[in-house]
Structures are given as structure tokens and as C-alpha cells.
Amino acid sequence: MMFSRFLLLSTLLIVSVIGHAELRATGDLGLVIERERGTALIINSSQKTILKRIEGLGDLSHASVVFSRDQRYAYVFGRDGGLSKIDLLLDKIEKRIIQAGNSIGGAISQDGRLIAVSNYSPGGIKIFSSDTLALVADIPAIYGDEQQSKVVGLVDAPGQRFVFSLFDAGEIWLVDVNNLQQPLIQKFKEVGSQPYDALLSPDGRYYIAGLFGESGLALLDLWQPELGVTRILSDYGKQDEKLPVYKMPHLEGWAVADDLMFVPAVGQHEVLVINKRNWQLLKRIPVLGQPVFVMARPDGRQIWVNFAFPDNQHLQVIDVKDLTLMKSLTPGKAVLHMEFTPRGEDIWVSVRDEDRVIVYDTERFTEKARIEAEKPSGIFFSARAHKLGL
């Protein structure tokens, strides 16, 4: 009798707790990186609210984030080699490891089971279980006379593969991780001088690396890797005046809209428009500074551009229909990053030196909300869990 009463009271208590607990869906969630204090804000993108600040994430000066396929976990890659797994429902760090001395980003595999991290020091990539963060593979970026290269431009690709570039070696590597005991590595050499970042086209077919040491881009068709790497736009900018590069473009922000690709020109005040059908330069669109991120709204109608110092207080918007500038905005000092909501009605903009994030309506270009954040940089929404190459 006493046990029955105890069981009944316990059940009522559990029901009561569940009834008062916050129900939170993961599709609305995201992270805003607060780079200087080593923290991240868990936010709700629909309600435009902060849910929790996560402390203790290390050096986030070049942080990036990927999400588990169920959108519950965020994996944060820190510049100090830190890899942190954040539970977005319980508002806590599930696990954190230091996997290298200097890290530059990462990716999650097609099936969501593996996390790959690209490293400057030591060069190469390391692959971890997304569940436990246990190391499952270590692939050093060895080239030449046993030298190690910095790794950049790491992305996931269809077929349970990762692709990345070797900055020092001028190479692109394609790694098949279906068999972790013996990963299959294809190495493409002499792709160009100093590939500094790369993108994967939204359909997962093309991997394109930007080159800092010379003109042009390096293109790898993942449907036909046996054809090797092709150089495109190799004559672009050869006659132009070389300007100081204040900040390297982040090429995962390159935009693809229909058959057009929009590319930030390195060291120039231009956005380049490339025809994907023949990989020829279609147009050079003058903008007011050196582009950093060039991002397409999800419907492909608009391209949003931010800039390096000294023009980083501005944003400009390109109309894809006629390839002209349609709007200029001035959110404030040091606009570092942008992120569209999944269907593109809003764009979130981090304004580092104003300590805030501004949310704009992308149709009316009006301000919808301001969210206080300490020196915000990257903004990452959980919808990225279902996109290739992010």
C-alpha cells in the first residue's frame, strides 16, 4: 500500500515537472559567437531572443560551427584547437577537447557520425566520433620532403567524403571515410599557389578553392575527380592595381544563385559573377570595399555583401535579376558576419564594435530587432545541419 502511494506521488511529481518544463524545438535554434570572451549565445531565431550564454569555449577568434543532423548538438571549432560539443536543449557543454595547437575550422560527415577538424599546427585533419569526440582517424598533411602543410577549406561532400586544401603545398585532397581503418585519399597536386579557402557548391558537385599566391581559382568536379583539377579565371586581375588585403574573404560564404556564382575579389573592390555553365567571368560588380562574405538569400534573388576594414561598417545588396546594386546599409562599426533564416525572410548581422546583432527584413530592408551581444562575430543557425558544405 505504501509503495503504491509512493509510486503515485512520484508519477504526479514527474508529470508536474514535465508540465512546467520548457518545450524547445531545435529548428529555431542557433549560436552567436562572442569572440573575445570565449562564449556563445544560444538564440531562438523566430522569437529573436537569447536563451543562454555558454561559457568556457576558449579562443573563438576564428570560430565556426556545425550541427548534428537532429539539430540538438552544435560543434564549435576554436582557434586554440578546441572542439566543443554543446547541447542546445540542456544549455551546456556536453564535452570539450583540445585536439591541436591551432585550428581553422571543421565539417560534419554526410551521415552525421564523424566530425573532421582542419589544423594549422600540426597540419592535417583529425576525425572524431560525433557522439563521444573520440579520435577515429588522423591524416597529417605531409608533402614534399616530409613537410606538413596548413589545412584550409575543409568541407563535407556526398559519398561520405571530406575535401580540403593544403595552403603550403598547393594541393587539394579528397578523402573517402567509408572505411575509417583505411581512408582512401586522392591527392591533386600543383593546383595553384596558396589555396586559402574553398567552397562546395550547394548540390555538392563542385569544390572550388581560391588562390592567394596567384590569379584564378582551382575547380574540382566531384562527379568526375579522375579529370583532375581545372584552373578557372586565371587571367582575372592580372592588369589591376594590387591593393593591400586587410582581411581574406571567407569562401564558404560564396554565393550560388541559379547558374551564377558570386565571388569576392581578393584585394579588389568588386564582386565577380561567374557563369557556371562555362566557368567564364560574366561581370565585375563594383562595390564600396573589399568583400569578405558574399551570401545568397535562400531563394537566390539577393546577394548580401560585407567588407573588410576600413569599410566594414557597411553592407550592400545585389539584385540577381539584373546584377546591379539595389541597397546599401550601415549597421555600425565592424560588421563581421551574416546569417539568413532558413527561408530568407530575415538576415542576422553581427556588429562587433557596437556589441550587438541586428536583424533585418530582407524585403523591406528595415530593422526588426536588436540583440545585445559582447563583441559578436559568427552567427550559425541549426538549419545548417541539412546543408552540404557548411
pLDDT at 106: 96
Answer whether residue 258 is part of any domain: no
pTM (two decimals):
0.92
Among 344, 358, 357, which residue's Cα sits nearest to residue 303? 344
Residue 285, beta-bridge partner list: 271
The contacts of residue 306 (CB under 8 Å, 6+ apart) are: 291, 292, 293, 312, 314, 315, 335, 336, 337, 338, 349
Answer whether residue 358 is part of any domain: no
CB contact at 8 A, 59 and 80 = yes
Give dist(CA 300, CA 304) in Å, integer.
Answer: 11
CATH number at residue 111: 2.130.10.10
- Give, in degrees to the nearest 5, the angle at Cα 317 between 45 and 364: 60
Range of the domain at 164: 99-244
Answer whether residue 173 is part of any domain: yes
3-state secondary structure (DSSP) of residue 175: strand
Answer whether residue 341 is part of any domain: no
Give dist(CA 135, CA 122) in Å, integer.
Answer: 15
Name the domain count of the chain.
Answer: 1
The CA dihedral of 293, 198, 104, 131, to the nearest 10 degrees, is 110
Answer whether residue 223 is part of any domain: yes
The contacts of residue 269 (CB under 8 Å, 6+ apart) are: 243, 286, 287, 288, 289, 290
C-alpha cell of residue 16: 508536474
**Average pLDDT score, the chain:** 91
Task: Give the model confidence (pLDDT) of 122-150 as tens digits.
Answer: 999 999 999 999 999 999 999 999 999 99
Q: Which H helix or E strand runs over 271?
A: strand 270-275
CB contact at 8 A, 287 and 269 = yes
pLDDT at 235: 79
pLDDT at 227: 97
Classify residue 104 by burial, with Cβ atoms within 10 Å: 0-12, 13-18, 19+.
Answer: buried
Answer whether residue 177 is part of any domain: yes
Q: What is the mean pLDDT of residues 171-194?
A: 96
Q: Is the pLDDT of residue 228 over 70?
A: yes
Give dist(CA 193, CA 214) in Å, integer.
Answer: 6
Q: Helices (DSSP H) in the chain: which residue ranges?
A: 2-20
Answer whether residue 186 is part of any domain: yes
Answer whether residue 207 is part of any domain: yes
Task: Give the model confidence (pLDDT) of 151-166 as tens digits.
Answer: 999 999 999 999 999 9
